Amino acid sequence: MVPAAEDSADWGALSSLPGNPIMWVLIISELLVFGAFFLGFGVARALDVPTFRAGQALLDIRLGGLNTLILITSGWLAALAVQARIRDERRLARLLLAGAMALGIAFLMVKGIEYHSKFELGYGLDSDTFFTLFFLMTGFHAMHVVMGVLVLAIVAWKDTVVNLETGTAFWHMVDLVWLILFPIVYLVR
Amino acid sequence: MIVAETKAASNRRLTRAWLVLVGLTLVSLTAALAVGRFESGLAAAAVALCASYIKARQVLDHFLDLRRAGSGWRAMFSGLLVVILGGLMAAYVAAG
């Protein structure tokens, strides 16, 4: 395939992915890091099932479930925004991105409520292995949500199709990570 | 740039993916709240991880639009998911 004159960079196999190829390098790296985290969580649980069950019993499944619904709805709006931008409906695309960002902020607020309730009960990062991993994994993910909201704001401002594809790809990666984190931390006990 | 799909078709496809994600989340949530939080054993863990795989594929194929990428990329991401979720299942089996 001959690249267009204005798109001289040859990214090889990465060129077939939507958005900027560098974002996909980041997405794959992030999935590997979170994957290692999840496998570490599984091994730590296998070594001390009672501690993990006791810790998980203190989590509010409804808040975790609510946050799952919030993130997947946010991802849906972000995906619709890309399609709207491809059709040159820029105003609609920005509105959809604003909705996606608002839901990202809602996710962080729910996470804040959840953390507050754990702190009030006296649980923190150093309480036991379960809570150390719980706060590290969900905290690391929440930092990605913060970054994702900022990225969505930037691409809503500089709203080329490639920028939207790139920014929303990061957001979907954050969504994807949560879809694995939620069942293993909250549901499977 | 790709404008192969009509507006209605792309919106329908993305909305269908979203509904699958919402449906699977509500089913697992309801089961966890009503049936006893998946403490029932390895079969429940397997179901939860399979649901997670299906949800992840919806996000990859439709939201991230990997269906437009080559089959090698789809296989690579599927393989990564299988390694992570399979490794977790192995850990649940080891824990007994």
Predicted ipTM? 0.89
Which tokens belong to A9?
């960079």
Q: pLDDT band at residue A137, thresholds of 50, 70 and 90?
A: very high
**Is the CB of residue A111 less than 8 Å from the CB of residue A142?**
yes
pLDDT band for position A14 (cuts 50, 70, 90): confident
Q: Report the predicted TM-score, pTM, of the whole model to 2 decimal places.
A: 0.91
Asked if the Cβ–Cβ distance from B91 to A62 is below 8 Å, we say no
pLDDT digits (tens, 9 = 90+) for B56-82: 999 999 999 888 888 888 999 999 999
Between chain A and chain B, how many beta carbons pairs sit less than 8 Å apart? 139
The residue segments making up the domain with residue A73 are: 68-189
B contact residues 57-86, partner A, Cβ 8 Å cutoff = 59-60, 62-66, 68-70, 72-73, 80, 83-85
Tell whether A76 lies on the interface with B, counting CB pairs under 8 A: yes
Q: Is residue A61 part of a domain?
A: no
How far B75 CA lies from chain A's nearest CA (Å)? 13
A38 within some domain: no
Q: How far apart are the first and last CA of chain B?
A: 51
Structure tokens at A15: 């060129």
Per-residue model confidence (pLDDT) at position B91: 93
* Local structure of A18: helix, strand or coil: coil
- Hey, are the CB atoms on B80 and A87 less than 8 Å from each other? no
CATH number of domain containing A132? 1.20.120.80
Tokens of B58: 């919806």
* Residue in A16, A53, A189 nearest the CB of B69: A16
In a domain, A171, yes or no: yes
- Decide if A22 is inside a domain: no
Suggest the residue from A59, A76, A80 to mutate for an interface test with chain B (most B CBs closer than 10 A). A76
Kindly report the average pLDDT of chain A as a whole number. Answer: 92
Contact between B59 and A176 using a beta-carbon 8 Å cutoff: yes
Q: Is residue A44 part of a domain?
A: no
Question: What are B19-57's pLDDT values in tens digits?
Answer: 999 999 998 888 877 765 555 578 888 888 999 999 999
In angstroms, the CA B53 to CA B85 distance is: 8
Domains of chain A: total: 1
Residue A155 lies in a domain: yes
CA-CA distance, B20 to B22, in Å (whole number)?
Answer: 6
